[in-house]
Amino acid sequence: MLKIVKTSLFTIIASVVFTGTANASVEEALANICTIVSADDKGELRKKMRAVQSDYRLKLRDYYTGISCNGQSLIRTAIENNAVEVGTLLVKKMPSRDLGEPEKDGKTLQAWINENGLQDHVVAKELMSRL
């Protein structure tokens, strides 16, 4: 009986430690994604997305809402930094239904673009064609 309790306790502790380590690793893997988007480094972003997908089985839509670059989403960051290649890639990789949903501030990407007068930006045009 005591052996079963010890084994169960060890299993629970091991699973808690492993879960904490896995979450920290995903955060570390995505740590510099804002820098990559700001620098318009499409190749590095593709590499980062492939690594996260193969290591953690997460696609862009799974972690897009959890990432904030100075309070902005990745696509907003790309538009603000004139990162055309990265912004276009992000728009193409995201499901169109997710592109039309409100973000953390309650505004959709389309509303944010119209509010800031960015309708003529290449990424904004790509986004509008997807919606």
For 61-92, give the DSSP string: HHHTTT--BTTB-HHHHHHHTT-HHHHHHHHH
- Beta bridge partners, 69, equal 72
Q: For the chain, give every domain's residue range.
A: 1-30, 32-130
Are 83 and 75 within 8 A, CB to CB?
Answer: no
Second-level CATH architecture of 32-130:
Alpha Horseshoe (1.25)
Quote the pTM value. Answer: 0.74
- pLDDT averaged over consecutive 10-residue blocks of the chain (131 residues)? 49 46 65 86 90 86 85 89 91 87 86 88 87 81
